[in-house]
Structure 1
């Protein structure tokens, strides 16, 4: 997966925000897998993945309906943002791609 930036997390959180809470964890992990697969596709073929894009989490998230971006005064959005960050930490720690801090 390409390097994760604020816009990636925001896009993923906005995609989760329109889903029922019980579906969010699975969809979040699915988006991370899709971004990872798209990045592999780009590296192997030199072209973006036809569905999941360039290997960024933002590109994978934008295949889902996105809520308008609220502020951090929206508690539900904060929960979605936190869920994305937690899933990314779990992903990086599980694959050895991240720093353990």
Structure 2
């Protein structure tokens, strides 16, 4: 996956905000895995992945409906943003073990 910037995490959190709370973690991990697959594809072919784009989390997230971006005063948004960061950390830890 390409380096993750604030906009990547924000876009993913906005997708999660539109999802049912019970589905959010699974959806978050799915978006991260798709970004990783796209980045690998781009590395091998030099071309964008036909479904998942350039390997950035933002590109994957923006294939789904995004909620309007609230401020961090919004508790649900904070939970979604935190989930994205937690899933990213877990993804990195798992990759380091492999």
TM surpasses 0.5: yes
Q: Distance in 2 between matches of 1:27 and 1:91?
A: 14
Which residue in the other structure is 2:6 paired with? 6
Q: C-alpha distance in 2, partners of 1:92/1:17?
A: 23
The runs of at least 4 consecutive aligned structure 1 residues that moved more than 2 Å come to none
Structure 1: give runs of 5+ residues left out of the alignment: none
Matched, 1:84 2:89: no
Q: Corresponding residue for 1:66? A: 66
For residues 23 and 65 of structure 1, what CA distance do their matches in structure 2 show?
15
CA distance in 2, matches of 1:59, 1:41: 14
Q: Which has the higher helix share?
A: 2
- When normalised by structure 1's length, the TM-score is 0.94
- 1:34 correspondence with 2:30: no
Cα deviation, residue 51, structure 1: 1.2
**TM-score normalised by L of structure 2:** 0.96
Report how many aligned residue pairs link the two structures: 97
Question: Root-mean-square deviation (CA), in Å?
Answer: 1.0
In structure 2, stretches of 5+ residues that fail to align are none
